Chains A and B, each alone.
Chain A
Amino acid sequence: MPGGASVEMGADIFDLVQNSIVLCDRGGRVTRWNVASEQIYGWNQTKALGQPVHDLLKTRREIVPLMEQGLRESGHWEGDVERRAASGVVKTIRLKCVLSSPTEIVETGTDITDQGRMEEALSRAEHRYTNVFRAMAVSFWELDFTAVGGMVEQLRREGETELAAYLAANPEFVRKLIRATQVIDVNDLSVSMFGRGDKKEMLAGLEPYWPEASFPVYAAAVVAAVEGKPHFAAETRLSSIDGREYDVWFTACFPPEMLARGKLLIGILDISADKRAKAALEMSEQRYRSLFHVLPVAMLQVDRRELADVFTTLHRDGVRDLKAYFQEHPGFYEYAANSIQVIEVNQRAIELFRVRSADQLIGSAARVWREARETIQAAMVARFSGAARFEAEMKIRTFDDQIRDALYVAHFPEAYGREALGLICMLDISDRVEAQAKLSRMQAEFAHAARVSMLGELTASIAHEVNQPLGAILTSGETAIRWLDRPEPDLGELRALATRTVSDARRAGDVIRRIRSMASNGEPELIELALNDVVEEVMTFLGPELKRQTLQATLDLAPGLPSVRGDRVQLQQVFANLAVNALQAMAGQGEPRLLIRTAMIDPRAVCAMVEDNGPGIPPGQLHRLFQSFFTTKKGGMGIGLAICRSIVEAHGGRLEAANLPGGAGAQFRFTLPASQAESIQSSPLAKRRADA
């Protein structure tokens, strides 16, 4: 053997070395055994020589094929192995094996058992550090991956190139790998999390902790290790030995030097609590989401981060009055409105803006606010000054170019801070606004018509008042002429006639003087009317006044009344006049009550009654009530009731006043002939019975 001499020569040198040096033949039998080997393993040379080294030293069986494979393929292997010394003590040997010739293996070994103890000591020194990890609830596991490495290598040798796919397709193989993964060590937390208080119990296969649903994560970790990735991390679900499951963050490090020794350190972070919080958050988010989509209010989620940043800058630059800033920088509004992004909208928003899908609203908010510059600018000013909420009525232009009225409420939740996600709610109040406009229009029309009609009625009333003295003047004048035509005129009679003429002329002049202006007589417009509607309209008109006086107004409208033929505005005026008179009569008294009733007297007449619980009409004034210019009211013109009566009479009806029995108040009652036409359907408004 050519190298024999040198080996022989080197024998002494071997003995000088502190490392164990063992020479084996190709069959693994010991051919040389140096002094250090005796010291480390406790076997003397005599005992060792000729023995199969792995049998002698109880090298862990899984390792042996790996060593042989390494030697066969690359002529060398190195790694940490556990061996048993003659004393039975298990030692950790850092082994380096070299195939020095086709028939000889040289293995050098260093006893690193103590080194391990030192490492342990070191870790004790790092107790505090470890504590930190404990506090962070990280479970550490040291795993022996050696067998797994062998199995995967075997697979590769069998020609399997797509490891990931293979593992995915063969869960049973993954199960075998997991079973073959040995737990070498775990920290306390791992014991409390995954064990039953006994750490030793856990120092076996990994299988109990790895539920089948989590196999893919194990497989991915294996693939990562094989592919030479430095580490692997994934969220998965692991189980304790007695079946409690945890959501965990699983990390594995593959430093080459550890891999070489078939070892692996994994860290497991319990994220169950995290998960629960997240789940709660998701649920709350879900609730918010369903509210967002279900509430019958148009809602837009906007991202106003950019504007918030601009606001911050403006604040820093000393801008205090954003309104003034808008005026000084004409382009700023455009920019600001465009910077706000609509990021989500609900179904009602889609309906409000009359778009086909949410996408059309997503994007710059300026498109959504085309008709509302003033309002949006005001909202921005409010936000700039720190308001958390802004509310205003605004006009919006729908995408099919209709103008709608909306109540605009913007909410800037503080929780989002500068990243300001804003929530905008819009309520379509077009109907309300329209109804209000209609009411004001009606009020205006009513007031106008009342004025016109009043002047018309006034004219008739005035004509009567003037015709009365004129008639007397004419008669007196003609009488006087007839006296003068007599041969002996009665001067006393003539004087009396002249005196009366003067006084009647004055009376006529007084009437005229009391009239400041006159309008031409408006022709009444006679149409088929439901008396109940007229009453309802007047009550609507008087609503605010009734409310102001905290008056209990009761409508008792008989259903199915025949219609009347009349001028709506004039009849409204009669009602309004009677109702206002009643209110004035009751002014200042406690518990004023107004009762308006309608009824059918006979098939040819309907009547309406306005009753109050005021002081009633003084008996002596009852007959003068409808005379023009008769008034008991300070500052009253005394034509209201006169006009009312002439209106009612012009409609072929009667207006009468009476006191209710027992001094319970006054009643004005007017009767109108029923129209010959079919009873017209009362509007829904009039069907309501209401207390104002």
Chain B
Amino acid sequence: MVGLPISVIDDDESTRIALAGLLRLLGFEARTYGSAEEFLSIGALHPCCCIISDVHMSGLSGIDLKRRLDESGECTPVILITGRSEPRLLAEAAASGAICVLRKPFDTESLLAGLRQANVV
């Protein structure tokens, strides 16, 4: 599988590594970032086909990131993942314009479904 890499943003290192490993196995190139800020400063130099971002991080949240991207006219699809389950937070995430919101723990099929929605697969 060829194309642009997928960016994985999560402040949880383990999640980051696991996701990147899975994506590579699935044939994607994956780039990982520990925070939204890191992605915005470095990742902007490296175009990607999809952004998978955690919602709840110190600093900018995944939702904030999506808003920033929208503001700068950047339309790379965003998949939000979160370990939280508060309805209000989930609703906010869903309303942010993300392709989908995946609740941790999620299975590979859910992720693939999201990637399909993002027209990556």
Contact B15 A478 (CB under 8 A): no
Contact B25 A482 (CB under 8 A): yes
A465 close to chain B: CB less than 8 A: yes
Mark interface residues in A484-495 (1 if CB within 8 Å of B CB, else 0).
000000000100
Identify B105's interface contact among A471, A646, A649, CB under 8 A. A471
Contact B21 A467 (CB under 8 A): no
Contact A626 B88 (CB under 8 A): no
The answer for the CA separation of A504 and B25 in the assembled complex, in Å, is 20
The answer for the CA separation of A323 and B19 in the assembled complex, in Å, is 80
Contact A627 B58 (CB under 8 A): yes
Q: Which of B15, B26, B58, B81 has the most chain A CB atoms closer than 10 A to its own CB?
A: B15
Contact residues of A: prevailing secondary structure: helix
Contact B22 A478 (CB under 8 A): yes
Q: Which of A465, A466, A472, A649 has the most chain B CB atoms closer than 10 A to its own CB?
A: A472
Q: How far is the CB of A508 from chain B (nearest CB, A)?
A: 10
Q: How far is the CB of B20 from chain A (nearest CB, A)?
A: 10
* Residues of chain B in range 91-111 having any CB-CB distance to chain A below 8 Å: 103-108
B45 close to chain A: CB less than 8 A: no
Q: How far is the CB of B102 from chain A (nearest CB, A)?
A: 9
A652 close to chain B: CB less than 8 A: yes
B83 close to chain A: CB less than 8 A: yes
- Chain B residues within an 8 Å CB radius of A652: 88
Contact B21 A497 (CB under 8 A): yes
A460 close to chain B: CB less than 8 A: yes
Identify A649's interface contact among B19, B26, B82, B88, CB under 8 A. B88
Q: How far is the CB of B115 from chain A (nearest CB, A)?
A: 14
Q: How far is the CB of A476 from chain B (nearest CB, A)?
A: 5
Contact A479 B18 (CB under 8 A): yes
Mark interface residues in B16-34 (1 if CB within 8 Å of A CB, else 0).
0111011001100000000
Contact B105 A474 (CB under 8 A): yes
The answer for the CA separation of A476 and B108 in the assembled complex, in Å, is 10
Q: Which residue of B lies closest to A469 (CB)?
A: B14
Identify A472's interface contact among B14, B25, B107, CB under 8 A. B14
B3 close to chain A: CB less than 8 A: no
The answer for the CA separation of A4 and B59 in the assembled complex, in Å, is 160
Identify A471's interface contact among B86, B89, B104, CB under 8 A. B104
Contact A474 B107 (CB under 8 A): yes
A473 close to chain B: CB less than 8 A: yes
B116 close to chain A: CB less than 8 A: no
Contact B103 A472 (CB under 8 A): no
- Chain B residues within an 8 Å CB radius of A624: 58
B68 close to chain A: CB less than 8 A: no
A483 close to chain B: CB less than 8 A: yes
The answer for the CA separation of A466 and B15 in the assembled complex, in Å, is 12
The answer for the CA separation of A473 and B17 in the assembled complex, in Å, is 11
Contact A472 B22 (CB under 8 A): no
Contact A476 B18 (CB under 8 A): yes
B12 close to chain A: CB less than 8 A: yes
* Residues of chain B in range 47-86 having any CB-CB distance to chain A below 8 Å: 56, 58-59, 81-86
A475 close to chain B: CB less than 8 A: yes
The answer for the CA separation of A358 and B31 in the assembled complex, in Å, is 92
The answer for the CA separation of A496 and B18 in the assembled complex, in Å, is 10
The answer for the CA separation of A595 and B84 in the assembled complex, in Å, is 33
Contact A478 B107 (CB under 8 A): yes
Q: How far is the CB of A630 from chain B (nearest CB, A)?
A: 9
- Chain A residues within an 8 Å CB radius of B84: 460, 463-464, 467, 646
The answer for the CA separation of A679 and B109 in the assembled complex, in Å, is 49
- Chain A residues within an 8 Å CB radius of B56: 464
Q: Which of B81, B82, B86 has the most chain A CB atoms closer than 10 A to its own CB?
A: B86
Q: Which residue of B lies closest to A507 (CB)?
A: B14
Across chains A and B, which 9 residue pairs bring their CB atoms closest together, nearest first? Answer: A471-B104, A467-B83, A474-B105, A475-B18, A471-B105, A623-B58, A470-B105, A464-B83, A472-B14
11 pairs of residues in contact across A and B, judged by CB atoms under 8 Å:
A466-B83, A471-B18, A472-B15, A474-B105, A475-B19, A475-B22, A475-B105, A478-B22, A483-B25, A623-B59, A650-B89
Extra inter-chain contacts (8) besides given A473-B105, A478-B107, CB under 8 Å: A464-B84, A475-B15, A482-B22, A482-B25, A482-B26, A623-B59, A649-B86, A652-B88
